[in-house]
Amino acid sequence: MARAILIVLDSVGCGGAEDAHLYGDAGADTLGHIAQACADGRGDREGLRKGPLALPNLVRLGLAHAYEASTGQPLAAAVKPAVPGGRPGYGVERSQGKDTPSGHWEIAGCPVSFKWGYFTALENSFPPDLIAAIIKAGALPGILGNRHASGTAIIDELASEHIATGKPICYTSVDSVLQIAAHEEHFGLERLYALCRKVRVLVDPLRIGRVIARPFIGTAETGYTRTGNRKDFAIPPPDETLLDRLAARGRKIVTVGKIGDIFAHRATAEEIKPFGNAAMFDAALGAWERLPDGGFCFVNLVDFDTEYGHRRDVPGYAAALEAFDAMLPRLEAALRPGDLAVLTADHGNDPTWPGTDHTREHVPILAFGPGLATTPLGRRDSFADIAATLAAWLSIGAVGPGRGW
């Protein structure tokens, strides 16, 4: 019986979507702008990387084909093989928004038909009654922040006051999210999680997609650093997903990274959540080696987004892509006849774009496995085509509105 592994390269978009202008993202292009910056020397950083973007394995599997199909332009400095080693294409998001849950749920066969709630005011972002409810629920002396902000910047700014007063740092962005940052030692990690669970209930009527715990450590003298103990508290998908169907069929499921959080821990089975792309890739390969026939491994590699996209760090993003590319042959070597691997993304986060938020983009889709035909996938009109394909591959019946390839 077949197995399948799905890896989401978080935020690795491949060119602006047709409706990008509705999100202020007309012209955004995460992959293309990184490649061009590297070709121009703007992706160089002493001691990190230098020169054109080097993704030989991804390009061999068809990344340049997928990018060109999406944008009509060649990927800078990429030498496209005449015949790709995998099946390349690109996906167009049907769901509204450009956030993590929408992208992942649609990939899993559950496009979002409703409108998310947002905190749109840049300053004093949260309604006074919500702030009062948060303070009461958490027995807090108050909150800090209450605005749109970069997570690292607002922690640097307010961490010392947070430690002195015991007030957590609450902030948001253009995404449907409320983030709460607190010091792991002074405030307490479990206390932060408990607060986020209570806030999750408070924002449910507002249709806020996620409440995110953002723990950090450090001192004013040494500087403050976010830890790997982030936890997302999301609303559950509104309909059946690929994971639900697999669980109902009794299949083995392993989820790596923040997949469990994104799906509100529904049908996410064995959850593995190490810190960093390399550790998550290693964990995924370890799970893959013991995955039985008919099993499914669902992986999110978040560093592209959180460490480099939101921080608008072009060299860092490029280096992370090159590091993943170098790891990819290990996955290829672990595939056996009947296995299917799919690489994709959930949205864009163009590090050359103004601001610090996600960008509305197409996403690449690369499918490969022993003996898999290399016919291009072309344009897929919904990310849900991925779920439809995986459901058919794993013989569990049709899932979602997508069309398999």
pLDDT tens-place string over residues 304-346: 999 999 999 999 999 999 999 999 999 999 999 999 999 999 9
Q: With respect to residue 64, please indicate whether it lies within any of the assigned structural domains.
A: yes
Instruction: Verify that 376 and 274 share a domain, yes or no.
Output: yes
Q: What CATH number is associated with residue 18?
A: 3.40.720.10
**For the chain, what is the mean pLDDT?**
96
- Which residue, of 233, 252, 268, is where some domain finishes? 233
Instruction: Give the C-alpha separation, 54 to 78, whole Å.
Output: 8
Is residue 1 scored above 90 in pLDDT? no
Which pLDDT belongs to residue 114? Answer: 86
Mean pLDDT of 357-378: 96
- Which residue, of 233, 255, 288, is where some domain finishes? 233
| Number of other residues whose CB lies within 10 A of the CB of residue 308 | 22
172 forms beta bridges with 148
Instruction: Verify that 28 and 58 share a domain, yes or no.
Output: yes
Residue with tokens 């995955």: 291
Mean pLDDT of 62-76: 98
Which pLDDT belongs to residue 165? Answer: 98
Instruction: Verify that 86 and 218 share a domain, yes or no.
Output: no
- Tally of domains within the chain: 2
Which pLDDT belongs to residue 150? Answer: 87
Query: Could you tell me how far CA 22 lies from the centroid of its own chain?
Result: 21
Which pLDDT belongs to residue 96? Answer: 87
Of the ranges 53-57, 172-176, 294-298, 307-311, which one carries the lowest mean pLDDT score? 172-176
Q: With respect to residue 122, please indicate whether it lies within any of the assigned structural domains.
A: no
Which pLDDT belongs to residue 175? Answer: 83
Is residue 365 scored above 90 in pLDDT? yes
Which pLDDT belongs to residue 402? Answer: 97
Q: In this prediction, what percent of the chain has a pLDDT beyond 70?
A: 100
Would you say 307 and 320 are in contact if contact means Cβ atoms under 8 Å apart? yes
Instruction: Give the C-alpha separation, 8 to 376, whole Å.
Output: 19
- pLDDT tens, position by position, 191-216: 999 999 999 999 999 999 999 999 99
Q: What CATH number is associated with residue 181?
A: 3.30.70.1250
- pLDDT tens, position by position, 390-399: 999 999 999 9
- Identify the band that residue 113 occupies on the pLDDT scale cut at 50, 70 and 90: confident
Instruction: Verify that 227 and 358 share a domain, yes or no.
Output: no
Would you say 343 and 7 are in contact if contact means Cβ atoms under 8 Å apart? yes
Contacts of 220 (CB under 8 A, 6+ apart): 159, 160
Annotate 93-113 with b (16+ C-beta within 10 A) or e (fewer): bbbbbbbbbbbbbbbbbbbbe
Q: Is the pTM of this model over 0.75?
A: yes
Mean pLDDT of 257-266: 95
Contacts of 54 (CB under 8 A, 6+ apart): 322, 325
Domain membership of residue 142 as a residue range: 128-233
Which pLDDT belongs to residue 286? Answer: 98
Residue that wins the pLDDT comparison between 11 and 98: 11
Which pLDDT belongs to residue 174? Answer: 80
Mean pLDDT of 132-141: 98
**What's the token pair of residue 288?**
């893959």
Instruction: Verify that 248 and 374 share a domain, yes or no.
Output: yes
- Identify the band that residue 294 occupies on the pLDDT scale cut at 50, 70 and 90: very high
- Identify the band that residue 115 occupies on the pLDDT scale cut at 50, 70 and 90: confident
Instruction: Give the C-alpha separation, 175 to 182, whole Å.
Output: 20
Burial class (CB in 10 A: 0-12, 13-18, 19+), 217: middle
